[in-house]
Every structure is written in structure tokens, then in C-alpha cells.
């Protein structure tokens, strides 16, 4: 997995040096964040462009890609539950790439729809739950890490919940520091891939935490970032709705006052 990542980065850097950055409309509109910068997002979309073109030529529907992404996601959770973190990394990466491809494919073929977004959101939640649930099963005998994994799972779900609440109410939430779905996937998958390396390097050390330091770091980061951001987001939504309620409460008062005001006396001329 890291060999593939290094190869993609090398080719993309050469491409950027010769022809400039591979800009994408989605990255220009969305921008980067604290956890994943814009250049990394541009590289990802550039890497997936040939796959999107091939799927479009084969007339594969975006919904089919979305549903398929759930299969490797569930298998990644099973692999993680048995401690096969390298395999979980490979399967989870395949699922995440499919999750990115379906949206790009839908926009490229002009079939993007609200129903497709609902399906994509539902599959995302199930896929993310499968991976974190698998990690939780693996750490079931280590209660501190289990609590940390459950906190990361809770925070991930709350980020999605606050996003849905804000969109329904027409409220704009800050993107910085929220640890969104793609960012959480990158951190989890990258550290799942590194954990077998640290297991080998620190095999002679008795500390279990040292053996699996990368994934523990990712779980801690995700748990803290998502839950702190969720509390901040709930506060923003509550303040916005409170402000709207206060404004709406003032409007009937003025209208009632206008209705109760006595009619104006218009003087008339005496003929």
C-alpha cells in the first residue's frame, strides 16, 4: 500500500512540476482543511480520473459503485477484528476510493441526484461503522483502547449528525477541524498500514501499546477532534436557531400592534 502511495506521489509531483497542479472543481470549491490539505485532495482526484473515465465508458452507474464499496468496507472490519491490519488497510482503501469515485462519476455523467446522495451517505455510515466496530472487537480485552475506539465511533457519527442538522436548517458550519469522513478514513487507513511495521520493529519490546502505536494515535486523534468539533457544531446550530427564533418572535408583535392601532382620522373639508 505504501509502495503504491509513493509511486502515485512521485508521478504526480513530476506531473505538477512539468504541467502544474491538477486542479479540480470540487477541490477549488471545497478547499483543504487542517487535516488534509488541498494539494493532497487534488492528487487524489487526479489519480482517480482514469478510473472514472473507464467506468463512464462501461456505463457503470454511480449507485452500483456506491453499493459495491460496502463489500470491501465490511471485509476490512472483519480483517481488523482478527488483527489483520495490513489487509484491513488494503480493503478499506478500496472502499474509500470507490466512495470518492461514485460522486465524481455521478457529476461527470450528469446523473447526480438527491436520492444518490442519500444512498451514498447511508453506505458511508455503514462502512465506517464496520471498520471501527472491527477495531473495537479486536481491542475488546483492552478496555481503555475499547473506550477510545467507541469514542472515535461516537464522534464520527456526531459529525455526520450535525452536518445533517445544519443542512436541514440552512446553517453553514465551519469545515476547519471537523475531521470529516475522508479525513477520518485517511488517518485510519494510513495508521492501519503502519501498525504491522511497528509490530515488526518493536517485536522485542513487551509494550503492546508500542507495537500498535500508529492505530492508537489515530483513534486518539479522531476521538478528540470529532467530539470537540461536534460540541462546537451543536453550539453553532443552537445559537443560530435561537437567533432565528428571537427574530421570528418579534415579527407577530409588530403586526398585532399595527392591527390594534386606531384608525387614522382624516379631516374632511366642510362644503
* Distances from the Cα of 71 to the Cα of 76, 85, 111, 120, angstroms: 9, 17, 23, 14
Mind listing the pLDDT tens digit for each residue in 203-225? 998 888 899 999 999 999 999 99
Region 240-248 average pLDDT: 81
For residue 261, being part of any structural domain is answered with no
Lowest mean pLDDT among 12-16, 76-80, 241-245, 258-262: 258-262
19 pLDDT higher than 80: yes
For residue 16, being part of any structural domain is answered with yes
C-alpha cell at 209: 501499546
For residue 254, being part of any structural domain is answered with no
148: how many CB neighbours lie within 10 A of its CB? 20
271 pLDDT higher than 50: no
Contacts of 66 (CB under 8 A, 6+ apart): 98, 99, 102, 116, 119, 120, 123
Who wins on pLDDT, 66 or 21? 66
User: What is the predicted pLDDT for the residue at 2?
Assistant: 81
Residue 3's pLDDT band, with cuts at 50, 70 and 90, is confident
Q: pLDDT exceeding 90 applies to what percent of the chain?
A: 46
Region 136-141 average pLDDT: 96
- DSSP sequence for 44-111: HHHHHHHHHHHHHHTT--HHHHHHHHHHHHHHHHHHHHTT-HHHHHHHHHHHHHHHHHHHHHHHHHT-
- DSSP sequence for 163-204: HHHHHHHT-----TT---HHHHHHHHHHHHHHHHHHHHHTTT
Q: Are 198 and 213 in contact (CB under 8 A)?
A: yes
Domain of residue 134 covers 12-248
User: What is the predicted pLDDT for the residue at 160?
Assistant: 87
Region 104-114 average pLDDT: 86
Number of domain units in the chain = 1
135 pLDDT higher than 90: yes
Mind listing the pLDDT tens digit for each residue in 154-172? 999 999 888 888 888 888 8
Mind listing the pLDDT tens digit for each residue in 33-51? 655 667 777 888 888 888 9
Residue 21, phi then psi, degrees to nearest 5 = -65, 150
For residue 7, being part of any structural domain is answered with no
For residue 270, being part of any structural domain is answered with no
Residue 175's pLDDT band, with cuts at 50, 70 and 90, is low
Who wins on pLDDT, 191 or 168? 191
Q: pLDDT exceeding 70 applies to what percent of the chain?
A: 86
User: What is the predicted pLDDT for the residue at 30?
Assistant: 63
How far is the C-alpha of 153 from the C-alpha of 94, rounded, in Å? 20
For residue 91, being part of any structural domain is answered with yes
Residue 93's pLDDT band, with cuts at 50, 70 and 90, is very high
CATH at residue 221? 1.20.120.1760
* Distances from the Cα of 250 to the Cα of 14, 188, 243, 256, angstroms: 61, 49, 11, 10
Please choose, from the candidates 59, 70, 44, 69, the residue with its C-alpha nearest in 3D space to the C-alpha of residue 105: 59
C-alpha cell at 64: 452500483
Mind listing the pLDDT tens digit for each residue in 49-84? 889 899 999 999 999 999 999 999 999 999 999 999
User: What is the predicted pLDDT for the residue at 266?
Assistant: 52
28 pLDDT higher than 50: yes
For residue 199, being part of any structural domain is answered with yes
User: What is the predicted pLDDT for the residue at 39?
Assistant: 77
Long-range contacts of 109-114 (CB under 8 A, 24+ apart): 109/56, 109/62, 111/61, 111/62, 112/62
pTM for the model: 0.81
For residue 141, being part of any structural domain is answered with yes
Amino acid at each position: 500500500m505504501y509502495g503504491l502511495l509513493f509511486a502515485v506521489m512521485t508521478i504526480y509531483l513530476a506531473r505538477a512540476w512539468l504541467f502544474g497542479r491538477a486542479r479540480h472543481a470540487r477541490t477549488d470549491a471545497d478547499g483543504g482543511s487542517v487535516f488534509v490539505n488541498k494539494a493532497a485532495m487534488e492528487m487524489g482526484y487526479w489519480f482517480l480520473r482514469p478510473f472514472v473515465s473507464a467506468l463512464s465508458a462501461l456505463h457503470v452507474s454511480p449507485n452500483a459503485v456506491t453499493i459495491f464499496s460496502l463489500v470491501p468496507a465490511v471485509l476490512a472490519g472483519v480483517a481488523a477484528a482478527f488483527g489483520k491490519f495490513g489487509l484491513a488497510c488494503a480493503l478499506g482503501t478500496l472502499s474509500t476510493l470507490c466512495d470518492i469515485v461514485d460522486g465524481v462519476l455521478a457529476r461527470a455523467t450528469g446523473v447526480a441526484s438527491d436520492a444518490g446522495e442519500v444512498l451514498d451517505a447511508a453506505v458511508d455510515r455503514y462502512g465506517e461503522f464496520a471498520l471501527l466496530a472491527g477495531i473495537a472487537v479486536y481491542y475488546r480485552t483492552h478496555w481503555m483502547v475499547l473506550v477510545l475506539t467507541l469514542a472515535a465511533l461516537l464522534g464520527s457519527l456526531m459529525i455526520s449528525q450535525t452536518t445533517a442538522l445544519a443542512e436541514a436548517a440552512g446553517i453553514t458550519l465551519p469545515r476547519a477541524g471537523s475531521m470529516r469522513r475522508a479525513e477520518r478514513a485517511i488517518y485510519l487507513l494510513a495508521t492501519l498500514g503502519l501498525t504491522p511495521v511497528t509490530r515488526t520493529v518493536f517485536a522485542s519490546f513487551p509494550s503492546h501499546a508500542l507495537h500498535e502505536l500508529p492505530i492508537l494515535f489515530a483513534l486518539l486523534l479522531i476521538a478528540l477532534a470529532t467530539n470537540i468539533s461536534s460540541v462546537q457544531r451543536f453550539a453553532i446550530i443552537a445559537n443560530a436557531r435561537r437567533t432565528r427564533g428571537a427574530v421570528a418572535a418579534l415579527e407577530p408583535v409588530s403586526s398585532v400592534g399595527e392591527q390594534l392601532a386606531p384608525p387614522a382620522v382624516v379631516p374632511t373639508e366642510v362644503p
